[in-house]
Amino acid sequence: MILYRGKIYDDTEQSRIISQLRTDLYKTFSDGKVLSVQTVINACDTLAKRVINGDFDEIVNPYLEMFDINAEAFKAMVQLFSKESLEYKCAIELSDDEKIIAGKFVRKRYPLGILLHIAAGNVDALPAYSVIEGLLAGNVNILKLPAGDSGLSVKLLSELIKTEPELSDYISVFDVPSTETETLKTLADYSDGVVVWGGDEAVSAARKLADVTTKIISWGHKLSFAYADLNATDEQLRETAYNICSTNQILCSSCQGIFVDTDSKEDQLKFAERFFNILKEVNKKIGYADFGMRAKNAINIYNEKLEQHLTHNVIMTADGVSVICTDDSKLSLSYLYRNVWIKRLPSTKIIENLRPYKGHLQTVGVLCPNNEKRGILCNIFAQAGLVRITSGKNMSRTVAGEAHDGDYALRQYSRIFETELF
């Protein structure tokens, strides 16, 4: 599905449209158009209100069911697109739009120009969100849809254009397979920046597509985890278990596992059994994960048990959830969908252990009832390279004005222009 100049086209039109794309994109600049931030904010606010009022329930409700998102969490997500939230975000990220430098120069912020967004498919509305951030910085945006896209992003962006027709010149959406490298190179050549959501392979592929003069802006994939003092309360563990079950560990901010502040295997196993019981309770309370994913992980756990005589891992499993205790301290992706690793990591070895994972670290949920020790741990994790430190409860919370992986998106999507005062 293609969205171009505010109209929906069939994929068969893609080659024809891309052949005229450069001329149309450049015309937006030659016409002297400047996209007002407030225009974007007002359009998003109007659309957000319609979503809350139920105007799009026919596409929203299946999405919520598919990703097991409750109404309260969804409302909080939509609130990020409200006028109040977006104005707050822009005030933080674009606070220095114009300044006089040394009494001789005017410094202004300009859009980077044209952005190509290569979106990941782990969060269905993420592609549309990426484009909206590009719009807030004033850019013309080209979106490459991820494989298996449900159509939600095209629907949202189409409705956004209907709300504010001025945006039609600033949004183009193409369904280009990743295998069509020549087409992607063409789109990258037209762009001043390539925004890529994904892991190392996706970023590496984007670098090969783009010219050396094109800016690469990468977001994710990142790894997040919890760090627990042995005296962590049941409530802290329960909140962490809720993060694991409610996100199914598919977000960059989701808890993949728990490092425990100990070098004792006995203490590790006691902690693991305690957490496993809480995880089972939370899993039962909020409802089991998708059957297909439970079946897939049943095979993974079965293989773990077959190799247990070699790995010496301790495996606890029931009701589609599992805890695997290992003797290594490696930061790794879990099996996802409520399957957690628990490893030993004394606080004295945090920096030594985590610094090698630079660029992949995101959120740590610190589970420690002692305020003084928690403060010390937070400082250690900041030195280790983590960019978000939260409670277990708030590992995946999203609030207006927060950074992406330790950076502000709107600043990344901008450039600084200086003019001498004559």
In a domain, 116, yes or no: yes
In a domain, 397, yes or no: no
For 272-289, how does the pLDDT look when each residue is reduced to its tens digit (9 = 90+)?
999 999 999 999 999 888
Which range is least confidently modeled, 1-10, 107-116, 347-356, 397-406? 397-406
- Confidence tier at 124 by pLDDT (50, 70, 90): low
The tally of domains found in the chain comes to 2
**Same domain as 229, residue 200:** no
Q: What distance in Å separates the CA atoms of residue 100 and residue 418, rounded to the nearest whole number?
A: 9
In a domain, 38, yes or no: yes
In a domain, 399, yes or no: no
In a domain, 249, yes or no: yes
Answer for the pair 329, 349: CB distance below 8 angstroms, yes or no: yes
In a domain, 204, yes or no: yes
**Same domain as 192, residue 256:** no
* CATH number of 362's domain: 3.40.309.10
Domain that holds residue 352: 223-390
**Same domain as 251, residue 145:** no
Candidates 134, 102, 104; CA nearest to 118 is: 134
**Same domain as 169, residue 243:** no
* CATH number of 22's domain: 3.40.605.10
For 247-273, how does the pLDDT look when each residue is reduced to its tens digit (9 = 90+)?
999 889 999 999 999 999 999 999 999
For 142-192, how does the pLDDT look when each residue is reduced to its tens digit (9 = 90+)?
999 987 777 788 889 999 999 999 999 999 999 998 889 999 999 999 999
In a domain, 319, yes or no: yes
Backbone torsions φ then ψ of 15, nearest 5 degrees: -60, -45
Q: What distance in Å separates the CA atoms of residue 160 and residue 164, rounded to the nearest whole number?
A: 6
Q: What distance in Å separates the CA atoms of residue 114 and residue 27, rounded to the nearest whole number?
A: 12
Q: What is the mean pLDDT of the chain?
A: 92
In a domain, 104, yes or no: yes
- Confidence tier at 119 by pLDDT (50, 70, 90): confident
**Same domain as 253, residue 205:** no
For 361-383, how does the pLDDT look when each residue is reduced to its tens digit (9 = 90+)?
999 999 999 999 999 999 999 99
**Same domain as 266, residue 193:** no
